[in-house]
A and B are shown apart, each in its own frame.
Chain A
């Protein structure tokens, strides 16, 4: 059973202050970049101490899930401020024009080959961010696929495709079709953060991905179909709560989940950890690792 923490990680208080200072003209971009590097090294250290199986770079330079790709693609641009789901956070919706195409892939993070995971928006989520102006299949083929190829060449072990909208009335059938446009030589996971995945899990059983990420703070255990044919990337750490999880409770829950015989279980937060302050996020990662360790010992 593996454990890992994809998604956007919170900035440290020092980085928060540095970026505030940058906006007010009190510091330089270089100083902010140095602090980003310090945050990155600390995050890697936190994950290693927790014993996580795959390392994430925490997307510390990402302003939101869509912006880096929008800024590096022809035909995409980021502008209107839009609320992100049911959170007090916002993203810039993506304006699409013509046939969007990735022209300048995001560089791979400096992490050991085959020991790191990447996070990207799922094709259907990217379509949603454009307000339906660009089709998920085209975005998958022309924007996400070349980005995944870049990550594959740099030794990425898993790409977690995040779809915050699918569990909120999205079209699972179209999502599956769009996922088929992606390269399959890197293991893919489709994560449905902060939503009740119950209604779409059945349709996603045929998705061309290795794992489906389920938020178990929004989804009842009873809604996971018996004998589910995909690995469940179990969101057992609540990224939107400051309450610290009890590894023993996670252990009991995961054993119940495993009894429903999915094709495997891995452990993760239920979404970006950026929704809690950094000090809490690092403790949550520690508890994620401890939960995994205790489950292995039981096994």
Chain B
């Protein structure tokens, strides 16, 4: 048996550096912002970061300067993900406003409606669909090409899924008329049409463009996947329509959801490499690889085991906490997953979700420990596999 080796990846977003945020908002940069650019540039060994620092000190940001700052933010994020040792990287979605707004602002058919609270003092912008959504061409090819040109690691492109776009939008087109007191079937059919239009006319053109540009791994993000459990088949239809005929690795990320609602519908996903899920948020912080030690993993991993498809992207970092998971905790979460599934080939490793709500200092520590913990798990597993061979020898 060959050595066990897990791929370590991020999921998507990182916080935007304050120098990028303020420059784009037209707010004056303070010395602390510039010091951060300097500190991280040095820490991440970003080649030529002195030019960024010099530019930031000038305080004059026209269109060309802002474009350069955008590039620098992407490079910093790529370097951070490389520096902590991830096998697969992207740019921390530095150029995107937010996963929903990024698409809604680009596609035709959506109109902004305002701000809605997600939890506590966190908010998101929400749009309404007012006509069938469509695009003139792929949205993220330039972003991908920039990343591709600035790293030699594997690249995975995160894209917001059709169902989440549907679920997070107000509907002023598909189901408005006759909604009051109407039938469940009518509401479901309206949502199906909305999902199908986004998948086919917005996401698929982007996926096709990315793959034509050389992308070989597309991650469809569907955090809304199980919010209406009886609509999980729509999530699956949206994934299949958005990736139809595309020759690339395809996976799906879901988080903060009731995963028991995913099966059996997800068995119909076409050629989906894995589901990257959030687990750590619901797990204990104590070490251990016994069933009772890992309450956040047990039930969902059993479903992966029972159904045998797809594979699992194991969330091992809680993205809503500054708690830095020790490498040994990451190790134990992976070992428990391997024990439960009985096959390390079905597991790869990632944070629960994008890390954009954490500071870069916390992200750096968390991801470093994730990689270290993954290597520890590999050592344990490979030692176990190697032992009988040595004994036989």
* In the assembled complex, A184 has its CB within 8 A of some CB on chain B: no
Distance between B286 CB and nearest chain A CB, rounded to angstroms: 16
* In the assembled complex, B307 has its CB within 8 A of some CB on chain A: no
How distant is the Cα of A242 from the Cα of B115 in the complex, in angstroms?
12
* In the assembled complex, B183 has its CB within 8 A of some CB on chain A: yes
Contact bitstring B158-170, A, C-beta under 8 A = 1, else 0 = 0000000001101
* A16-24, A98-106, A121-129, A134-142: which lies at the interface: A16-24
Q: Which 10 A-B pairs have the closest CB atoms?
A: A277-B114, A242-B170, A86-B227, A90-B119, A221-B181, A19-B121, A86-B228, A242-B128, A242-B113, A243-B176
Distance between A60 CB and nearest chain B CB, rounded to angstroms: 11
Query: B: which residues have CB within 8 A of A?
Result: 113-121, 123-124, 126, 128, 167-168, 170-172, 176, 179-184, 223-224, 227-228, 256-258, 281-282, 320
Establish whether residues B281 and A236, one from each chain, have CB atoms under 8 Å apart when the complex forms. Answer: no
Query: In the complex, which residues of chain B have a beta carbon less than 8 angstroms from the beta carbon of A86?
Result: 167, 227-228
* With A81-B281, A88-B227: A249-B180 Cβ-Cβ less than 8 Å: yes
Query: A: which residues have CB within 8 A of B?
Result: 10-11, 13, 16, 19-20, 22-23, 63-64, 80-83, 85-92, 196, 216-221, 236, 238, 240-243, 245, 249-250, 253, 256, 274-280
**Which among B124, B171, B180 has the greatest number of chain A C-beta atoms within 10 A?**
B180
Query: In the complex, which residues of chain B have a beta carbon less than 8 angstroms from the beta carbon of A241?
Result: 170-172, 176, 179
Query: In the complex, which residues of chain B have a beta carbon less than 8 angstroms from the beta carbon of A253?
Result: 180-181
How distant is the Cα of A276 from the Cα of B114 in the complex, in angstroms?
8
Establish whether residues A91 and B119, one from each chain, have CB atoms under 8 Å apart when the complex forms. Answer: yes
30 contacts between A and B (CB under 8 A): A13-B114, A19-B121, A22-B121, A23-B121, A80-B282, A81-B256, A83-B256, A83-B257, A83-B258, A85-B227, A86-B167, A88-B116, A88-B118, A88-B227, A89-B118, A92-B119, A196-B184, A216-B181, A218-B184, A236-B180, A238-B180, A241-B170, A275-B116, A276-B113, A276-B114, A276-B116, A277-B114, A277-B116, A278-B114, A280-B114
Establish whether residues B116 and A217, one from each chain, have CB atoms under 8 Å apart when the complex forms. Answer: no
Query: In the complex, which residues of chain A have a beta carbon less than 8 angstroms from the beta carbon of B168?
Result: 88
Establish whether residues A245 and B171, one from each chain, have CB atoms under 8 Å apart when the complex forms. Answer: no
Query: In the complex, which residues of chain A have a beta carbon less than 8 angstroms from the beta carbon of B118?
Result: 88-90
Distance between A240 CB and nearest chain B CB, rounded to angstroms: 8
Query: In the complex, which residues of chain B have a beta carbon less than 8 angstroms from the beta carbon of A85?
Result: 227
How distant is the Cα of A238 from the Cα of B126 in the complex, in angstroms?
16
Establish whether residues B117 and A89, one from each chain, have CB atoms under 8 Å apart when the complex forms. Answer: yes
Query: In the complex, which residues of chain B have a beta carbon less than 8 angstroms from the beta carbon of A250?
Result: 180
Query: In the complex, which residues of chain A have a beta carbon less than 8 angstroms from the beta carbon of B120?
Result: 63
How distant is the Cα of A92 from the Cα of B320 in the complex, in angstroms?
12
Establish whether residues A63 and B180, one from each chain, have CB atoms under 8 Å apart when the complex forms. Answer: no
How distant is the Cα of A83 from the Cα of B228 in the complex, in angstroms?
11
Query: In the complex, which residues of chain A have a beta carbon less than 8 angstroms from the beta carbon of B121?
Result: 19-20, 22-23
How distant is the Cα of A19 from the Cα of B117 in the complex, in angstroms?
11
Query: In the complex, which residues of chain B have a beta carbon less than 8 angstroms from the beta carbon of A278?
Result: 114
* With A87-B227, A242-B128, A242-B172: A10-B117 Cβ-Cβ less than 8 Å: yes
